[in-house]
């Protein structure tokens, strides 16, 4: 494996350089994570943004092409001519099976298959900490730990990683799976102190996936350099990841606001996802005139501790 370090982002450069920049397709471009990523990657790549919902605030170097991930032909069309795909699209929390099936299982397959049909060489897959959510918080896990999804959503992320392995082995797609914790400007609660991913650290990881010369198939944890992390992220370090942020500077504030939580959720890395059926995205946009609903679910059965 070649030692690699992400080159600094060129903030301004001549037109010729701008034209030569890699063209990167970002799915799920209307989402929150994409919003952070677009800001952080500004000037580094040309971005083709895609989503079912429109993205209207286009910056220089960005174009928008609408596509529905459940329609293969549409995804193949948006993947034409790109150097890399950053697949953020899909259903982003636990939810009804049909929604996850369409957006993440069918949609995930379509995006990998579109990469193959369009001859794209690089793929960054936004996996999730919820692929591993039934690991206990007092265990430190690496990318080699058994998958322990904490819901249908987590299962769909394991499926996306498995597709990545298949397309890497069979079609030589170069795949980086990021098991993303929680992307936000600041960590929002005690669990997120362990799994927080700052926007600039997200951008660094995505850049590794797009540019690292020697990636075949890799899984890393998408977290900042948090002192409270429950991940052994040495695979990311080996690839050259040098996180710039650590949630610890927010810890005192976050812990001062902490409320007692469900004891089962508090035991496992996946938190609430392990005990409730449908999770309202804690960092998602609130539509005007609508209150953010509290996540609800069936009564929680008492469980013993498990590995
Ligand atoms: C995820 O995978 C979700 O996409 C995100 O919205 C958060 O809920 C995050 O996990 C989390 O665990 O905080």
Domain ranges (residues) in the chain = 22-274
Q: Would you state the CATH architecture of domain 22-274?
A: 3-Layer(aba) Sandwich (3.40)
Q: State yes or no: is 153 an active-site residue.
A: yes
Helices (H) and strands (E) in the chain, counts: 11, 9
- Tokens representing 87 are 């697949």
pLDDT bin (cut points 50, 70, 90) of residue 4 is confident
Token pair, residue 31, equals: 């989402």
Q: Please pick, among 153, 167, 221, 268, the residue that the annotation labels catalytic.
A: 153
Which pair of tokens denotes residue 262? 């469900």
CB atoms under 10 Å from CB of 86, counted, come to 28
> Tokens representing 130?
């919820």
What value does the mean pLDDT take over residues 58-63?
A: 97
pLDDT score, position 201: 98
Residue nearest to atom 4 of ligand 1 (CA): 92
Judge whether 25 and 69 are in contact, CB under 8 Å.
no
Tell me the β-bridge partners of 87: 27, 125
Compute the average pLDDT of residues 245-267.
Answer: 95
- Take residue 25 and report the two structure tokens written for it: 């397709």
- Whether the per-residue pLDDT at 6 is higher than 90: the answer is no
Q: What is the pLDDT of residue 261?
A: 86
Residue nearest to atom 6 of ligand 1 (CA): 281
Whose alpha carbon is nearest atom 9 of ligand 1?
Answer: 182
List of residues 6+ apart from 121 with CB closer than 8 A: 83, 84, 172, 173, 174
**Matching residue, tokens 């897959």:** 125
Q: Whose CA is nearest to atom 7 of ligand 1?
A: 182
CA of 153 relative to ligand 1 center, distance in Å: 10
**25-36 mean pLDDT:** 98
Which band of pLDDT confidence, cut at 50, 70 and 90, is reported for residue 187? very high
Structure tokens at 159: 């499926």
**Ramachandran angles phi, psi of 128, nearest 5°:** -145, 155
Contact 169, 216 (CB under 8 A): no
285 has a pLDDT exceeding 90: no
Q: Region 68-87: what's the mean pLDDT? A: 98
> Does residue 272 have a pLDDT over 70?
yes
- Token pair 């540019």 in the structure block, residue: 211
155-184 pLDDT, tens digit each: 999 999 999 999 999 999 999 999 999 999
**Which of 12-21, 141-150, 211-220 shows the lowest mean pLDDT across its residues?**
12-21
The chain-wide mean pLDDT, for the chain, equals: 90
Instruction: Give long-range contacts, CB 8 A cutoff, 24+ apart: 290-299.
Output: none
Here the tokens at position 23 are 């063209």
pTM of the model: 0.89
Q: In what order do the strands lie in the sheet with 174-180?
A: 62-64, 46-50, 23-27, 84-87, 122-128, 174-180, 217-222
Rounded distance from Cα 123 to ligand 1 centre (Å) = 21
Distance from C-alpha of 68 to C-alpha of 286, rounded to nearest angstrom: 23
> What is the Å distance from ligand 1's center to 181 Cα?
6
Q: Which of 134, 182, 284 to mutate to test the pocket of ligand 1 (most atoms within 8 A of CB)?
A: 182
| Cα–Cα distance measured from residue 110 to residue 189, given in angstroms and rounded to the nearest whole number | 35
| Site residues for ligand 1, CB cut-off 6 Å | 92-93, 128-130, 182, 192, 281-283
The residue among 195, 191, 207, 167 whose CA lies nearest residue 267 is 191
The predicted-structure confidence for 92-133, as pLDDT tens digits, reads as follows: 999 999 999 999 999 999 999 999 999 999 999 999 999 999
């Amino acid at each position: 494996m070649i030692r690699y370090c992400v080159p600094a982002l060129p903030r301004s450069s001549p037109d010729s350089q701008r034209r030569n920049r890699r063209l990167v397709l970002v799915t799920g471009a209307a989402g929150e994570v994409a919003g952070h990523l677009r800001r952080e990657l500004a000037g580094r790549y040309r971005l083709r943004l895609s989503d079912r919902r429109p993205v209207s605030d286009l910056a220089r170097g960005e174009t928008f092409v609408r596509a529905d991930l459940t329609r293969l032909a549409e995804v193949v069309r948006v993947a034409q001519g790109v150097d890399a795909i950053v697949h953020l699209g899909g259903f982003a929390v636990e939810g009804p099976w049909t929604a996850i099936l369409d957006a993440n299982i069918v949609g995930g397959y379509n995006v990998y298959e579109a990469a193959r049909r369009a001859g794209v060489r690089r793929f960054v897959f936004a996996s999730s900490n919820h692929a591993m959510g039934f690991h206990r918080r007092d265990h430190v896990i690496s990318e080699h730990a058994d998958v322990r999804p904490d819901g249908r959503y987590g299962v769909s992320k394991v499926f996306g990683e498995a597709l990545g392995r298949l397309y890497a082995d069979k079609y030589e797609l170069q795949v980086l799976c990021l098991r993303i914790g929680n992307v936000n400007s600041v960590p929002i609660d005690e669990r997120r102190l362990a799994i927080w991913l700052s926007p600039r650290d997200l951008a660094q990881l995505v850049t590794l996936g797009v540019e690292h010369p020697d990636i075949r198939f890799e899984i890393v944890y998408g977290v900042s350099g948090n002192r409270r992390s429950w991940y052994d992220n040495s695979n990311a370090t080996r690839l050259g990841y040098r996180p710039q942020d650590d949630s610890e500077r927010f810890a005192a504030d976050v812990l001062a606001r902490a409320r007692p939580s469900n004891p089962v959720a508090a035991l496992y890395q996946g938190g609430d996802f392990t005990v409730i059926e449908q999770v309202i995205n804690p960092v998602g946009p609130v539509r005007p005139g609508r209150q953010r609903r509290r996540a609800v679910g069936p009564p929680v059965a008492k469980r013993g501790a498990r590995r």
